[in-house]
A and B are shown apart, each in its own frame.
Chain A
């Protein structure tokens, strides 16, 4: 459902060219839970941005759910992003002036769902992440773990084909991180494909497949990691 072939990304200034991705090829099948690890500057975030259609790439081809995204205009990319992809960010990125309900509502409004449909979806996902009683709390009234759960609810509300998670537990203590990871695993078990960028090896091992990036390339594409972790 996600196929990148020889994708490159070059950041250019007047005097410097930085190759953030070099002939990056990568396939994801439906239902996978993939972790992406690598040192700082290895291109993880650039990969995530390109996979999530947040940035354009310099070369190569990228197909998302059968759609070649290479020549899509901004409006088409926005629509595809809204319909197919759910984002979970390290710093939650909730809108501070909106309560839980309205935060989850944001992507649904761009989808132009009816009010009743939006309400139904919001209620469902808020219950799913265990925050049904806090629908009208502001983000500032929630703990970090709860805020990340709201972000997950927001990502799931549109029923995307896959989730892109950027260090989803990076700002959480271990207990909250564990509960968020369990939630992501549940979501994956229910069929949603997840690609998770993380620098924590123990979390990466919980994915079914791990790719290790270095210098903008896939250095290791190891589906055995999960098995190894499980058997250990």
Chain B
């Protein structure tokens, strides 16, 4: 191996090599951190919401006539929806996972405002909630129809029902020592109102995807007296798209004192929710691709210039006994050394940048395998980039050595 002489030769003429090594280092630092961001966003996007996203859609009903009676209208609507062919189930609720807007509350394991509460997303449902969302009840039971509380904000009555169903993540947050013994335990809402946990869901995400407690949610058996509400409808598999215009038409015709709007599928909600993340991933992939291509072209340029500048030297080496593979190996090795300087510098730069980004943007630190993977990619890019010019170098005739110019 000619590592020693190549290294010494490069060190005596280092400016152009250092520039390329720096370019590789910067590319690597950006590549590693971009990959880390892509990985984090992809992981976030891949989280299941817990509900049957493929078959659920939802819409809003907004009563506008003074005589519109929200309570009776919703009872009639839900009855009609549940009977509608192709509808698996339907509920009236306040929001859906990933929708972006919703309610949250704090639950405590002990009463008293001095006790720290744990935030939880609130879904108001009736006994059809679990089936409509198609969430997995892993412990306890569903609400009974008699347990559904009718809440009138204008009346003086109980503000919260006495039973709830929570997600497993909420159970773990409330009872870190015994998360699987949540059934029957009492928690407190609004400082000191006791509520008993009657069921635990495997998963149901909150409406806010970036919330650190996105996996914490609770189903509250409550119907609120109001004139604007949201229906969530789960279609039988394969019927969703067909059903949506029919449902909209049916509800609009059924009661002309309200308008129906905002018909949206859960699939669209997920796409819209992660639109920025998806765009960010595409942008980062593009940037990394362009940077890598520019670095590759830089290496091609340097190697081509180097071959042209050193054609006499290559001829001399050939005259002194270098075979064509030896010339190829020389340039590949030279590039490998430049790339090695670049990727080692890049690794340090990447770690430094990541430490800063972790502090500044609360990102996850780089996974251990990202840096070696990026090193391999950039070594490979370097070797591929230099192969063409190196191959041209092998075609230099040894007779060049005896030419005067």
Q: Which residues of A contact B (CB under 8 A)?
A: 45, 48-49, 52-55, 74-75, 78-79, 81-83, 87, 89-91, 93, 95, 97-99, 102, 105-107, 109-111, 138, 154, 158, 166
Contact = CB atoms under 8 A, between A and B. Distances in A.
Contacts of A53: 398
Query: Which of B5, B317, B324, B325 has the most chain A CB atoms closer than 10 A to its own CB?
Result: B5
Contacts of B402: 45, 48-49, 52, 54, 89, 166
Given A98-B5, A98-B9, A78 B399 contact: no
A107 B398 CA distance: 13
Is the interface on chain B under 10, 10 to 19, 20 to 34, or 35 or more residues? 20 to 34
Given A93-B316, A102-B5, A138-B12, A49 B323 contact: no
Given A45-B402, A54-B401, A110 B321 contact: yes
Contact of A78 (B5, B9, B323): B323
A109 to B, nearest CB: 6
B400 to A, nearest CB: 9
Contact of B397 (A54, A102, A107): A54
Nearest to B1: A109
Given A54-B399, A81-B398, A102-B5, A75 B12 contact: no
A87 B320 contact: yes
B321 A105 contact: no
A106 B319 CA distance: 11
Identify the 7 closest CB pairs spanning chains A and B, nearest first.
A82-B321, A97-B9, A110-B321, A107-B320, A54-B399, A54-B398, A78-B323
Nearest to B320: A107
13 contacts: A54-B398, A74-B324, A75-B323, A78-B323, A79-B321, A89-B316, A90-B404, A97-B10, A98-B5, A102-B5, A105-B5, A109-B2, A109-B5
Contact of A93 (B312, B324, B397): B312
Contacts of A109: 2, 5
A205 B321 CA distance: 31
B324 A110 contact: no
B353 to A, nearest CB: 34
A78 B8 contact: no
A111 B322 CA distance: 9
Contacts of B323: 74-75, 78-79, 110
A109 B5 CA distance: 10
Contacts of B325: 75
B326 A110 contact: yes
A148 to B, nearest CB: 14
B320 A110 contact: yes
Nearest to A154: B320
Contact of B8 (A87, A91, A102, A106): A102
B318 interface: yes
B320 A82 contact: yes
B13 interface: yes
Contacts of B321: 78-79, 81-83, 107, 110-111, 158
A81 B402 CA distance: 14
